[in-house]
Amino acid sequence: MTFDLQHTAPGTRARAGLIMTDHGPIETPIFMPVGTVGSVKGIFHRDLKNEAGAQIILANTYHLYLRPGTTILEQAGGIHRFSAWDRPVLTDSGGFQVFSLEANRKITEEGCRFSSHIDGSKHLFTPENVIDTQRSIGADIMMAFDECPSGTAEYDYAAKSLALTNRWLERCFARYRQTQPKYGYYQSLFPIVQGCTYPDLREKSARFVQQFGADGYAIGGLAVGEPAETMYEMIEVVNAILPTDKPRYLMGVGTPVNLLEAIDRGVDMFDCVMPTRNGRNGMLFTSEGVINIKNLKWRDDFSPIDPMGHCFVDTAYSKAYLRHLVIAGEMLAAQIASLHNVAFYLWLVAEARRHILDGSFAEWKPVMIERLSRRL
C-alpha cells in the first residue's frame, strides 16, 4: 500500500491524498461505509459504487469471525469474493466489540475472553489470532488488537490500558511479520493510538506506534462519551506527532460536523454507522441541515430530499414520498434513507477534498458547518 500526500490546505492541516491498494485507489479524505458483516445495511453493492461512490468499505472481525466464520471465508477466497465487492476493504480488529460486552468478557495479558452475543458460546481473542482471522477475511487494511476504554476512564486505568495495548501491538506486528496474505494481494496493518482523553498518554501512544513503520495509523478510543471539543483536542495532539507521509484514520467518527472538524486537523479516513443507523430511524443529513423525515411538516413537501441535488435519491424521491414510506413501515424507506445518507457523507468528503485542492477549504468549512448544524 502507498500513500501520496497531494496537497495541504493553507492555514489548516486539512490534506488531500491518494492511497493505492491492490484493490484500487482511495482518494482522501474518505468516508468508509460500515459493512459490519460484509454488507452495508439495506444498500446493494451496485448502489454503493455507482450511486454513492464508495471507494472502500469497512467490515468487522468480531462479527465475521462468529458468523459465517473463517472456514467459509477461506473456502470463498476471502471477503472480496464472498461478498462480491471488488474495491478495498478495511477490517476493525473486533476490539471495540468485545470490550463493549462488559458483562460477558474478561481481559487478561493473554487477550480477551468473551461470550458470543449470538449463542453465548465462549471465545478468546488474542493479538495473534486476531491477525490470523483478518488474514482469513482478507481485508486490504487490517487493524491491530487493542483495548478501547471508556472516554471517561480514570487516568490510572487509562495508563494501564495503554500499556496493555502497546504490549498487544508488539505481538500483533510479530504475528503479522510471521504470516503471509492468503489470497495473493497485500494486506496492511495499522496500529491504533489510544490514551483516552489524557494528552500525555495520547502523545506517548502516538510516539510508540511509529516504531513499527506501518502503512498508516488509526486514532481509536474517541467519540465514546467525551465532549466533542475534547475529541478535537486529542486529534490535534496525536496528529502533531504522527508521520505526515502516512494516512490517519479516525475510528468510529461521526457526524458531518465531526468529519469536517477532524479533516481540518489532519485526518484522512473515517467510518461510522451513523448514516445508515440514523437513516433507518428517519434522520437525513443534507447540505442545508438535518431532517427528521417523520415530522408532519414534510407530509406535503414534494421537493427533493437535498436541494443541491447531489445525492442519488434526490432526483427520484421527494420528502413527502419518503415520509409516507417511513410512516407506512415500508422497507424501501430504510433503503432510500440509508443510501441518501451514505451518498451525502461521501459527497461531503469529496467536496472537502475539492476545496483542499483548490485552496479554499479554510473559507468553505465554517460556512458548511453552519449549514450542517441546522435542524430543519
- Classify residue 315 as exposed, middle or buried by CB count within 10 Å of its CB (0-12, 13-18, 19+): exposed
Reply yes or no on whether 22 is catalytic.
Answer: no
Residue the block writes with cell 466533542? 228
> What's the length of the chain?
376
Query: From CA 365, how far away is CA 355, in angstroms rounded?
Result: 9
Residue the block writes with cell 473559507? 363
Give the number of other CB atoms < 10 A from CB of residue 307. Answer: 11
User: From the candidates 47, 140, 264, 271, which is the catalytic residue?
Assistant: 271
Instruction: Give backbone dihedrals phi and psi of 247, rounded to 5 degrees, phi first.
Output: -70, 150
3-class DSSP state for residue 226? coil
User: From the candidates 92, 140, 146, 215, which is the catalytic residue?
Assistant: 92
Instruction: Give backbone dihedrals phi and psi of 54, rounded to 5 degrees, phi first.
Output: -65, 135
Q: Cβ contacts of residue 144 below 8 Å, gap of 6+?
A: 93, 127, 168, 169, 172, 173, 189, 190, 191, 192
Reply yes or no on whether 92 is catalytic.
Answer: yes
Strands (E), 29-95: 30-33, 57-60, 89-92
Query: From CA 33, how far away is CA 22, in angstroms rounded?
Result: 19
Report the chain's C-alpha Rg in angstroms.
20
Residues 356 and 8: beta-carbon distance below 8 Å: yes
**Element (H or E) spanning 112, and its range?**
strand 112-115
The two beta strands, 15-21 and 2-8, are antiparallel
Active site residues: 92, 271
